[in-house]
Every structure is written in C-alpha cells, then in structure tokens.
Amino acid sequence: MKTLALIGAQWGDEGKGKITDMLSRQVDYVVRFQGGNNAGHTIWVDGRKIVLHLVPSGILHPHCLSIVGHGVVLEPEAFLKEVAEVRQYIDVTKKNLLVSENTSVTTSWHKLIDAAREGQGPIKIGTTGKGIGPTYEDKIGRRGLRVRDLLDKDQLHARLKNTAGEKIFLLEKLYGIQAPTVEQETERLWGLGQQLKEFVGDAFGVLQEGLAAGKKALYEGAQGALLDVDYGTYPYVTSSSTTTSGVHTGAGTLRGTVDEVLGICKAYTTRVGEGPFPTELFDDVGKYIQATGKEFGATTGRVRRCGWLDLPLLRYAVQCSSLTSIALTKLDILSGMDVLKVCEAYEVDGKTFTTARPGMDLARVKPLYKDLRPFKDDFSGDKFSSELETYIAHIEKGLGIPVGIAAYGPDREQIKFRKSFF
Ligand code: IMP
C-alpha cells in the first residue's frame, strides 16, 4: 500500500498522534490536510510528553517529510513556537518540514473574533478559541490570507487593508474589543513570515511527484468524523472536512486514490465542548473513565465528557469516512472495570436505528446497550484475554471492518498490530 489516511472516528482525541507516530516509521510523507492548532496530538517518547498542534506527527522521524497541506489553517506564531519545541528533540529544516505556500493564515483578528463570539453568540459551540472558524470563513469567503502573502510585505499590507475593515469594525463596535491596526498586524505577520519562509514551498507538487515515484504517504487527520462540518453533529462541529474527503481538497492524492482509511477510535467515547452525546455517563463509571483515562483536552485542558462505545455513531463514521479498518485505543482504561457496555442501536419515537444519520437529533435518541463480559488484561504478555478478544470481535462484527491496531497505553510500544499497513 502507498497511501493511508488516518481519520478520527469519533469526536476527536482518539489517540491519532501516537498511531501516526508509529506508522510514520514506514512512510516517506506525513501530511496534515485540515484543521489547525485546535488539534492536540500527544506522543510519549521515553516518558516525555510531546504535544503537537500544527506540526505533523511524523516529525520525530528524521527520514520522513512532514507536510502541512493547503487545507490547514496555520497560526504562524503557534507554529513557530512548536517548531522551537520540536527542535529540542530533532533537527527541523525544509528537508523534514514543508508548509504549503497556499495554506490559510490565522490572524490576531480571527482569534479575537472566535473568543468574542463564544461569549455572545446564539449557540455556544465550546470552540478551542484558536480562531479556526473565522479563518475558514474568510477562506471560503475569498477574503483569506495565505502563507505566500506573508512573504511579500506590500502584498501583505494590501490584502490586510482590503479585508480588515470589517473585522476591526466588528471587534470594536459590536464586541467592544480593542483590535490591532492593519499596520500593527502587517508588521507582526511580516516578521513571522520571515521566520516561516525556510519551510514554505510547493507542497502539492512535492507530494504529487513523490507519489508518482512510488513513495508512501500517511494523511494525518485532525479532530474526528463527528466534528466534520458536513457529516458531523452540526452546528457542534469544527469548520473543516475532517473525514477522508478533506484529504482530496486539503492536500491532494495521486489520481484520486487513498488506498486505505484507518479510523482511530477509543475503546469508549469522549467529547469535549458542547453538543449531544448519546452514551454520555454522568455517574461514577463516567468519572472513573475520565480520571483513569486522564481525559483532559490536550489543547485547552478542558475536562472531556466520557461514555460507552457507540456503534451506531461508529457505523456512520465508517460510511462517511470510507473506513477500511479501525485502530482501537486506550483499551487499558477499560481493563479491570466491573461493567462493560456497548451501545448497539438507538431508539427514537418507538423506532430502532442501528446507524446514525446526518441531521438525526442525537439529543433525543435512547441508546440501547449490550452487556459484555469485562476484561482484566495487564497487557504484559503477547496475547489478549478471551474476554478482550470477544470485545474486539464484537466491534469488528458490528462495524464490518477489522480492528487492525489495538493500543493499550500512552507509550509508543504499547500497541499491537493485528494487520500490516504498508
Ligand atoms: P473549533 O475547532 O475550535 O472551532 O471548535 C469547534 C468544536 O470542535 C468544539 O466543540 C471543540 O471542542 C471541538 N474540537 C476542535 N478541535 C478538537 C480536537 O482536536 N479534539 C476534540 N475536539 C475538538
């Protein structure tokens, strides 16, 4: 296989960083294609925690070129700070990190608007406050700024002058927030562009040439299918295409092909921010999972809501993201519990649904559970217990695709490959 997309199958935070890091050993390129520094991909190396937000999770493997595709929204200051952190572990140059010149840029105004809206809008989304929505709005509205604009000061100033008026008016007159002037923002972004330029290039062209020459690529998704702007639980979603479709628009493939799609999925479900969550647990079991799984957001530090595995949502994720296999993560967190439940179907107005649908009001569904025999694995040996194998088999049967990876701890080595990917 030459190309694999790695997609969150739930509401994000499924452990994509660790799986990407592991699979990076086998590929030439790791490509981010959507989202921005709202993502937080955690990797543990030798007991040290590294959280990546914008830099692709392949960066810790020197042989690998990490690519920030044009579908990403990039906050230059955050990106450069992250590069400085990564440089404590590894040399970072254009040889192993490439940013598309067409990647959209998050400005100070976008961040201020994101934060201001959360306080005052009609619906509270619980965004990460990183300016993601406003940056994508400007991109789609054809007012956006691209990385290439940062490299030409006159062009940068002209573009900001053309589009900033509305934002400054909104911030100052509607929200009562002092906004930076066009001149201040031009100077700031120009300075950042000068530091960024060593990484900027034709990412699409490099990827096309490499794939045509037989190189292997891993497309690293951020967030998860249920946060997709089209397929997710709208309006409680992020502003990008988090499903496999985003690969095509946000980075590019060779002749429209992604060979396999690996859906990353926790052994239970979590959600951070607002929005419906059918299997959410409000009792001690939920609190146990939250505490044992250290379910705090890697980007915002917010507590994640926790619940049982939800097969109707996962079946939907398989459909909308064309998943071909699953990586099941954090199995160790469920190990040793006295109960183990899986949501098999939903009941809505007396009808039973085994698969969620776009627009289905998840706040109104009643989850129907199946009890499984709990497992008590300590993961020290080569084999899983028969109870854990039964849990995995149940998921495979329920979704109709194999569990290709089972992960049971934060470290790189706490992982079992049940199929090969490259
Ligand atoms: P935004 O992406 O910051 O606009 O936030 C929109 C929604 O997506 C909020 O509910 C966030 O909590 C959620 N979200 C964004 N990024 C992530 C992530 O990486 N993991 C989990 N939830 C996320």
Note the pLDDT tens digit of each residue in 276-315.
999 999 999 999 999 999 998 877 888 999 999 999 999 9
pLDDT reading at 362 higher than 80: yes
- Please state whether 141 falls in left (phi above 0), alpha (psi between -120 and 50) or beta: alpha
**Selected residue with higher pLDDT from 389 and 413:** 389
pLDDT tens by residue, 230-266: 999 999 999 999 999 999 999 999 999 999 999 999 9
Confidence at residue 121, expressed as pLDDT on a 0 to 100 scale: 66
Residue nearest to atom 1 of ligand 1 (CA): 127
Q: Name the residue at shortest CA distance from atom 10 of ligand 1.
A: 273
Partners of residue 405 on adjacent β-strands: 327, 417
* 13 labelled catalytic: yes
Token code pair at residue 231: 């397929």
Please report which helix (H) or strand (E) contains residue 24, including its range.
Answer: helix 16-24
Inter-residue contact 218 to 58 (CB < 8 Å): yes
pLDDT at residue 50 greater than cutoff 90: no
Spatial distance between the Cα atoms of 190 and 192, rounded to a whole number of angstroms: 5
pLDDT in tens, 378-404: 999 999 999 999 999 999 999 999 999
Compute the distance from residue 134 Cα to the ligand 1 centre, in Å.
13
**pLDDT exceeds 70 at position 153:** yes
What is the torsional sign of CA 128, 136, 125, 286? negative
Residue 127 beta carbon below 6 angstroms from any ligand 1 atom: yes
CA of 174 to the centre of ligand 1 (A): 25
Q: Please tell me the predicted confidence (pLDDT) of residue 259.
A: 97
Question: Per-residue pLDDT averaged across 322-333, rounded?
Answer: 98
Ligand 1 pocket, residue 238 CB under 6 Å: yes
Q: Please choose, from the candidates 107, 83, 301, the residue with its C-alpha nearest in 3D space to the C-alpha of residue 187.
A: 107
**CB 134 less than 6 A from any atom of ligand 1:** no
Of all residues in the chain, the percent with pLDDT exceeding 70 is 100
d(CA 107, CA 159): 12
Rounded to the nearest angstrom, the gap between the alpha carbon of residue 313 and the centroid of all alpha carbons in its chain is 17
The verdict on the CB of residue 343 being under 6 Å from ligand 1 is no
State how far the alpha carbon of 87 is from the alpha carbons of 20, 66, 99, 201, 294, in Å: 19, 14, 17, 20, 27
Nearest CA to ligand 1 atom 15: 38
Q: Please tell me if the CB atom of residue 36 comes closer than 6 angstroms to any atom of ligand 1.
A: no
Q: What is the pLDDT of residues 101-120, one digit of tens each?
A: 999 999 999 999 999 998 77
pTM of the predicted model as reported, rounded to 2 decimal places = 0.96
The predicted-structure confidence for 119-130, as pLDDT tens digits, reads as follows 776 678 889 999
Confidence band of 332 (pLDDT split at 50, 70, 90): very high
Per-residue pLDDT at 13 exceeds 80: yes
**For position 359, what pLDDT does the model report?**
82
- Chain length of the chain: 422
